[in-house]
Amino acid sequence: MSNMTKLTVVVPIYNLGHYFDDALESLGNQSEDYELWLVDDHSTDGTAEKADAFVKGVPMFHVEHFAQHQGVSVARNFGIDHATGDAVAFVDGDDRVHPDYVKTLVNGFQSDTPAVAVGYQWWHTPFDQRDHYEKLTQRQMFRQAVQRGSEVGGYIWNKAYSLAALRDENLHFDESLNIAEDYLFTATFVANTPGTYLYDPAIRYTKINRPGSTIHSRSMADRQVEDHVFDEIYRLGDKL
């Protein structure tokens, strides 16, 4: 039985076109109630209007519109600062979540659980997709978080983080980064937050490969920045 009562889901959105339609449908079909923040980073293609229509009439659903484009990390940090749940999860606005995405994350939390992760479908899928929770020590979770392409990964979109732990560490996304900011966020959280982590390998998150997204438009300079970020991440492990 979960000790957690509410999850806040933060979704940064920016010019998502038709990809946003499927994302909204999956967010609207959740089997568990949750708080939602759609944070619009000054979209100009109709995405903002879709967000307004989606939250209308739902008390726990909110939308924020930025007056100028500020970047995904600023949008996520806005969500952290305005979340009222016991934990916070981050969904990319062009991806899809299983109807039990929220439920699986919520049910994994106990009093000593810093974060819960779920299985995802992207370049690969988990070998064991049974719906069950596996325990990971802080060290095991860190190893998963700093290894590119690992089963649990350092990605933020298949995880929920204790909001109290985030605020204890005053942890936010590095707004100067446009790449690997998710790995740095997760690795920093795990390195500074002891406890028993939970992972359910059942696929609850589907990553969509959208042309023009950051992962598909990295420059050589971006790759160099990513390498420097991972050097910083590896140093975080020295304390474990």
Q: What is the residue extent of each domain of the chain?
A: 7-238
Beta strands in the chain (DSSP E): 7-13, 35-40, 61-65, 87-90, 96-97, 115-121, 134-136, 159-162, 197-206
Distance CA 236, CA 50 (A): 40
Distance CA 10, CA 91 (A): 6
Split at pLDDT 50, 70, 90, the class of 214 is: low
At the topology level, CATH places domain 7-238 in Spore Coat Polysaccharide Biosynthesis Protein SpsA; Chain A (3.90.550)
Split at pLDDT 50, 70, 90, the class of 1 is: very low
Split at pLDDT 50, 70, 90, the class of 213 is: low
Q: Which amino acid is at 180?
A: A
Split at pLDDT 50, 70, 90, the class of 212 is: low
Query: pLDDT tens digits for 119-148?
Result: 999 877 777 889 999 999 999 999 999 988
